[in-house]
Chain A
Amino acid sequence: MKKLYYDPKKCTACKTCEIVCAIGHSPSQDLYTAILEENVALPRVRVSVGKEGNFPLACRHCKDHPCVNACIASALTYDKEEGLLFDKEKCVGCWMCIMACPYGAVRHDSRNNKSQRCDLCADIHDPRCAKNCPTKAIVYREEKT
């Protein structure tokens, strides 16, 4: 499957990825409407600023997916082609996935008691973070083997 890869040297931490991610996952999918929405959408990708570059990170859709194993509510499943699938309705906010994720890629959204993670923009099958990265620091490509 295709996954997201990041080049810390190209990343300027402009956080365009975070903004397009949040907008893309908001009900309106429009910046000026999204910022006024109740429970403003959170970005699933986050950029950490470091001395040796900047590091974007989102869910890795791992093959061995410890979060799926830890989910007590059957909200998480894994598909070889599509990666991690999250049924938000089933999530009870137990945070077992946060406990299990070795990358710290799951977000804790206490406002609606649901966990949040990157879905690779499943609605358009084209992750917005990679598509909109001005320096091409985020690349969406076939998994490295």
Chain B
Amino acid sequence: MKHLLIIGNSAAGISCAENVRKKDKEIKITILSKEDYTGYNRCLISYYLAGDIKEDRLVYRAKDFYKDNNIELLLNKKAVRIDAKKNQVVLEDKSRLDYDILLLSNGASPKFPQDIKGIQKKGVFGFRTISDAKEMLDLALVSQTACILGGGLIGLKAAYGLKKRNLDVKVIVKSSQVLSQILDKESSEMCKRRLVEHGIDIMTGADVQEIIGNGDCKAVKLDSGKVIASSIVVVGKGVKPNTELIEDSAIKLAEGILVDEYMKTNIPNIYAAGDIAQAYDPILEETTVNALWPNAIEQGMVVASSILGENKKYGGSVGMNSVEFFGLPVISFGITRAPQDGYEEIVSRDVPQNIYKKVILKNNVIKGAIFASRIENIGILLKLAKLKIDVSTIKDTLLKADFNFSVTKDLQYEKEEFYL
């Protein structure tokens, strides 16, 4: 009996296991997790932190799922090395697990910049796991102020959650803008304004030098010399794929593990998917790590299809985000700030209504978009971008209020034909 070993018990790993099991009742499936929980909705921890949902809603796949699908789940087990020659995974406790097929879906971890003195102190979080959220909630009860390092999505979600727990929240951002990786200047300003209106202090152009405290974090010291008393610090400086375990193996690695269109690594019986994988991005037209839940689910499905011998080709993953802060929803994908030459920007705004829309094109192919406040229909643009469809005939309609799917009816691409 073949053994599929999956490292990582989140979106990509679970999606692969579930889809393999749907069609193959024989194969032995084991999922390894370094955490202590059955599959959970990682992206919901900010909602849990904010008190918007209770803990039970974090459950993605409960114990029964593993039992019903005959999947062995090994919790609190950390893989530290791959011995690809022997088809074995070495665990932290030195024990070894054999595999016939291996899926590396062990995700990513928050970056903790080591040039910030004291970053290892208690009370400093990466905000990635249920444990992080729980510890933050405990501390929030006895804290007045929280400092967020970085104005990215994770940091701002933590800021939102902690603000809803009535803390004074200060977001310390090195650059002049928040969400600069996923939004352009105008939409970034809209988000910033909304956060500030709701009492979150955003300090741009500032950086943290040191986290002060005797074991526990008590304050942060900025590069200006200013000291802010704070017993919770969230480091939102991005994530890094958990590739340590393959560093001395022959598996090819760039930022993430390089995979082909079947999510296969350069070693035939080893796959990678999710936040650890570097797959093709049809918008950037190169491989990149797009560490997002929907991409992880799809990539897990592609791995399953490859294992089952169906060999479905993966169309690739795109950077895409949907955020909402205090009633301002914003969705963006792809390239949101046009590089100089060869790109075209179309913008539409309704300032009194707080509506902002932008689409970026190159040679009449959509390369990115931002929709703020009015977010419906952006998925149509995303599909056209992924398939690199020439939209010259409908370009002027893309940002119109009445833009809808029927506008695309004369464009030739894979879609369901439901108009008679």
Residue numbers of A with Cβ under 8 A of B are 3-8, 46, 48, 50, 55, 57, 60, 62, 66, 69-70, 72-74, 90, 92-96, 98-108, 110, 139, 144
Contacts and interface: CB of A to CB of B under 8 A. Distances in A.
Given A92-B47, A94-B324, A100-B294, A60 B418 contact: yes
Nearest to B420: A7
Contact of A92 (B53, B331, B378, B406): B53
Contacts of A3: 418
B294 A66 contact: yes
Given A7-B419, A110-B327, A103 B379 contact: yes
Interface of B: 41-44, 47, 52-53, 57, 59-60, 293-294, 297-298, 301, 320-322, 324, 327, 329, 331, 333, 375-380, 382-383, 402, 404-407, 409, 415-420
B379 A98 contact: yes
B419 A98 contact: no
B44 A55 contact: no
Contacts of B416: 60, 62, 103
A102 B419 contact: no
A84 to B, nearest CB: 13
Nearest to A10: B420
A18 to B, nearest CB: 14
A106 to B, nearest CB: 7
A95 B382 contact: no
B418 A104 contact: no
A110 B329 contact: yes
Given A57-B404, A104-B404, A73 B57 contact: yes
Most buried by B among A46, A62, A94, A105: A94
B310 to A, nearest CB: 14
Contact of A6 (B42, B60, B329, B420): B420
Nearest to B296: A69
Contacts of B57: 73, 90
Contact of A94 (B322, B383, B419): B322
Given A55-B404, A73-B57, A92-B44, A99 B419 contact: no
A99 B382 contact: yes
Given A60-B416, A90-B57, A99 B404 contact: no
Given A69-B298, A98-B376, A104-B379, A6 B418 contact: yes
12 contacts: A8-B406, A48-B402, A69-B294, A92-B52, A94-B43, A95-B375, A96-B294, A98-B331, A98-B375, A99-B321, A99-B375, A101-B380
Contacts, number: 117
B375 A108 contact: yes
B351 to A, nearest CB: 19
Given A69-B294, A99-B322, A50 B420 contact: no
Contacts of B405: 55, 57, 103-105
Q: Which 9 A-B pairs have the closest CB atoms?
A: A55-B406, A104-B377, A102-B383, A72-B43, A70-B294, A101-B379, A7-B420, A69-B297, A95-B322
B7 to A, nearest CB: 21
A57 B377 CA distance: 12
B379 A93 contact: no
Nearest to B293: A72
Given A55-B406, A90-B57, A99-B333, A139 B379 contact: no
Nearest to B402: A48
A94 B416 CA distance: 26
B380 to A, nearest CB: 5
Given A60-B418, A103-B416, 20 more contacts: A5-B418, A5-B420, A7-B419, A8-B419, A8-B420, A57-B405, A66-B294, A73-B41, A94-B322, A98-B378, A99-B331, A99-B375, A102-B379, A102-B383, A104-B380, A104-B404, A104-B405, A106-B379, A108-B329, A139-B420
A99 B376 contact: no
A110 B327 CA distance: 8
Contacts of B322: 94-96, 98-99
Contacts of A73: 41, 43-44, 57
A6 B44 CA distance: 37
A62 B420 CA distance: 17
Contacts of B420: 5-8, 139
B417 A144 contact: yes
A77 B259 CA distance: 28
A22 B304 CA distance: 40
B376 A104 contact: yes
Nearest to A6: B419
B155 to A, nearest CB: 17
Contacts of B377: 104
Contact of B320 (A93, A99, A103, A144): A99
Nearest to B384: A102
Nearest to A94: B322
A104 B381 CA distance: 9
A100 B377 CA distance: 9
A5 B420 CA distance: 7
A103 B419 CA distance: 13
Contacts of B383: 102
